[in-house]
A and B are shown apart, each in its own frame.
Chain A
């Protein structure tokens, strides 16, 4: 038997959660250190997997399979490929960063907080590695509960409302997905996700295929979130504690996009192709609407939340471009691959960039306890280090060449322009708006102009805050200048996925 990497990555957080709950309250400092140390293990394991993954094959690797509920053919089946591996890495990385950051900022009910965070990590990693629908669904739902508590207990003033709204919205999608999963199971007799992609359920009955498609679509579109299913997102992001927002934007939204890639595209290519125009319009609206609404915000956290709607729209644009070209033989193959590569990479990039932005919001909010953009001004003088890091992250987010965001957005647009030119052309306007928004609203209003005397003696970022941001900045620059390691990883799997459609 091979070394059970994925099982360890998935369940070490569970161990961490139990450990956090068992350690007595008086050893809080030690508990925090132990938690951060434990969260490093999945990260190291994920890095080992990245290095050992054979990307030329692009297949599912590090597979593990055990029978779980034989009567209904449910297996504990896990594995990763070039699409899920970067996301597993991203999840582990952001969890370490969030726990490290929280160990400085969370002051009350610390044990529970860390335990919930670990459970959340387990749920998210579980979704990315599951190759069995039952398992996938269980992990998908497990992730909801800790997030609900993180928002509800440690969140802002409207946290109760935001927490239940988040829960109800996501659950609505999930239960419809459950029905679709059940439908596929009774049609094909398996819960295997890869098997299902081979079997193509309801291939001869387009009505049923569409029903299953839209059931799954509801779950994923709410999570992404695609316009008009996004309304839970600003509330959840604004009310969540800083680390909660980081995970929400960094990983939870990816679960939805991942569902499109892992489930809808390979299993229902026909329906996806058929409905691509509708989804393309939704993606376009997400991009344009997200950018414009973001620009209109004065609350820094809300602004970044809406910019997430915009950025996840690019992921969807890449996906829908690839789906639109299904069945056009070889003509668009390269464009499809480019769009999908861009989409997957954009998922990773958005994770580190927007995650970083939320952390930076946390940094200023901890000091000033305001997020109103009109309340700052001239902070560039007092907080030069913060100014620099924030600017770099904003530039990465708006897609400046040389930083990671540019590569993925470029690939998406390049691919989409040759397949669905009108949509892509309008979508590019989103980039202009976000650029204006980040430069004007964030950089100019916070850092430039006359210094707001209220903040004259604001301390700059401290060492631990810089340490929190450092890994994210590292990846922004690394993948901006040298994207080969991640693109190789993604490309092998994307090509394999596309040639199977």
Chain B
């Protein structure tokens, strides 16, 4: 029992700190901004604990949760994302809401939910943690009650979330009906070795799979489950938009990979074409629509739809020998630093100028050189230009597609790289404004120190990951091994 608790220590740490933050907020009215640092402390502690546990294996609560490197990897991602988001919220939220204690508490709870989802290995547990992630996020998106856009984003997010999770639940029930189990490993065995030909009902698998995909796709914001994304991003407090673009997405990928590779390898031949199609449509649609955006948060929303399309390409190219899943993990880590970094810069800009319009970024290099330079690095990384983290992610994901060695996959890779060219156009449109055009208002911008720190960390990590990728690749490779153990492929 004690051993089980040790394995759960990241989750326990997060729970304690979430409650601590909420409790301190109730007890001491004037602590609000110090609470942010308490929360960051909790996140850092959780990362340390996770790192210490890395490499251990275990199964908890009669198979409801597994503890493996793959889960640890996503726990680290979730904690890193939350830490950076809190750091970038301090100055931003101070002027916008008095309820900051609950805000940080909710963020920690959302992180807890993601860590649970990362280890969930039973459909019931998956559904529960899924809803946990969603509920905390609904509240966070609509957090600025006085701002109608925030409320609109929250409602839209909630309605889409409610529908897709109901559909997902139906898919789960179908799968349970076919196999008689909710445990992923048992489902795999039931599908691979059906008790009798009559017991195998493959025709039901496809709808079950698609229904579940609706839920995952909503979290990840894959086309056609993406419509909430731009509105929620635009309306949400910008740090929360940053969080949404990384945390829940990573969680969605974790659970998608675990369900599809662990439970449904027998039907890989069915889900690969579906995911390939979604991947293609997501990246192309996201990029084409992003070009026309005039609001930077909406642009980043569509860009994130395109980015998950690239990531999904790695899932499609998953095989025993390929770099597919390694690529997915690397891409998500790279995307964490890059996209969070871009959002942090947007937070800083909108905090100081009150604007999210791309046109207002004109001449930023004169007004805030660090911010503009960091954005150039982030956009390079998002477009996949070396020596940045984003290049590494794309290198592995497209590499995996090439590695599959079939015409279809070559085609996917070509579409993928052509999409990066489209994306360069709108990313560098912002660079063009920032660097080539004069500012309407020449006053230089004084960025709060917490935001400078957040931008510097993300920019440094984006470059470090591009220049010295070896440790990150090793980490990702080790994390993939544990999921490969479960997969018969």
Interface residues of A (CB under 8 A from B): 68-72, 137-138, 141-142, 144-145, 148-149, 152-153, 159-160, 163-164, 167-168, 171-172, 175-176, 178-179, 182-183, 185-186, 211
Contact = CB atoms under 8 A, between A and B. Distances in A.
A175 B421 contact: yes
A476 to B, nearest CB: 36
Contacts of B420: 171, 175
Of B385, B403, B469, B477, chain A has the most CB atoms within 10 Å of the CB of B385
Contacts of B429: 164
Interface of chain B: mostly helix, strand, loop or mixed: helix
Contacts of A182: 395, 398-399, 402-403, 413
B385 A168 contact: no
Interface in B437-489: 469-470, 473-474, 477
13 contacts: A69-B469, A138-B386, A142-B386, A144-B385, A152-B432, A163-B436, A167-B424, A168-B421, A172-B418, A179-B398, A182-B395, A183-B402, A186-B403
A175 B380 contact: no
10 tightest A-B CB contacts, nearest first: A175-B417, A138-B386, A182-B402, A152-B436, A186-B403, A182-B399, A71-B473, A141-B386, A69-B470, A183-B402
B379 to A, nearest CB: 10
B470 A71 contact: yes
B387 interface: yes
A211 B413 CA distance: 13
A182 B405 CA distance: 11
Given A145-B380, A164-B425, A71 B474 contact: yes
A182 B417 CA distance: 12
Contacts of A186: 399, 402-403, 405
A152 B386 contact: no
Interface in B378-428: 380, 385-387, 391, 395, 398-399, 402-403, 405, 410, 413-414, 417-418, 420-421, 424-425, 428
Given A164-B425, A178-B398, A149 B387 contact: no
A137 B428 contact: no
Q: Which range contains the number of B residues in contact with the other chain?
A: 20 to 34
Contacts of B385: 141, 144-145, 171
A137 B436 contact: no
A153 B366 CA distance: 12
A142 B391 CA distance: 12
Contact of A142 (B387, B410, B417, B473): B387
A138 B435 contact: no
Interface in B53-80: none
B380 A153 contact: no
A211 B410 CA distance: 10
Contacts of A163: 432, 436
B418 A138 contact: no
Contact of A178 (B387, B417, B425): B417
A72 B414 contact: no
B417 A160 contact: no
Of B435, B474, B477, chain A has the most CB atoms within 10 Å of the CB of B435
A167 B414 CA distance: 19
A178 B428 CA distance: 21
A178 to B, nearest CB: 7
Contacts of A171: 385, 420-421, 424
Of B395, B425, B477, chain A has the most CB atoms within 10 Å of the CB of B395
B132 to A, nearest CB: 36
A179 B432 CA distance: 28
B280 to A, nearest CB: 16
Nearest to A139: B386
Given A138-B386, A141-B386, A163-B436, A179 B413 contact: yes
A70 B436 contact: no
Contacts of A164: 425, 428-429, 432
A172 B422 CA distance: 10
A373 B469 CA distance: 53
A149 B431 CA distance: 10
Given A171-B424, A172-B421, A178-B417, A138 B387 contact: yes
Given A164-B425, A176-B414, 7 more contacts: A141-B385, A141-B386, A153-B436, A159-B436, A163-B432, A182-B402, A186-B403
Given A172-B421, A178-B398, A186-B399, A71 B477 contact: yes
Given A69-B470, A171-B424, A179 B386 contact: no
B386 A137 contact: yes
B402 to A, nearest CB: 4
B473 A179 contact: no
Contacts of B428: 148, 164, 167
Contacts of A172: 418, 421
Contacts of A141: 385-386, 391
A453 B246 CA distance: 67
Contacts of B387: 138, 142
A185 B477 contact: no
A149 B436 CA distance: 8
A168 B473 contact: no
A126 to B, nearest CB: 11
Contact of A179 (B380, B414, B421, B436): B414
B437 to A, nearest CB: 8
Contacts of A138: 386-387, 391
Contacts of B414: 176, 179
A153 B386 contact: no
Contacts of A160: 432, 436
A407 B472 CA distance: 52
Contacts of B380: 145
A159 B436 CA distance: 9
Contacts of A175: 417-418, 420-421
A167 B428 CA distance: 10
Contacts of A211: 410
A307 B241 CA distance: 52
A159 B398 CA distance: 33
Contacts of B417: 175-176, 178-179
A172 B435 CA distance: 23
A310 to B, nearest CB: 28
A141 B466 CA distance: 13
B173 to A, nearest CB: 41
Nearest to A144: B385
A63 B279 CA distance: 43
A72 B413 CA distance: 19
Contacts of A179: 398, 402, 410, 413-414, 417
A424 B399 CA distance: 41
Contacts of A145: 380, 385
A163 B417 CA distance: 20
Contacts of A153: 435-436
A159 B437 CA distance: 11
Contacts of B425: 164, 168
A180 to B, nearest CB: 9
Contact of B424 (A159, A168, A183, A185): A168
Of B395, B418, B436, chain A has the most CB atoms within 10 Å of the CB of B436
Nearest to B436: A152
B32 to A, nearest CB: 39
Contacts of A137: 386
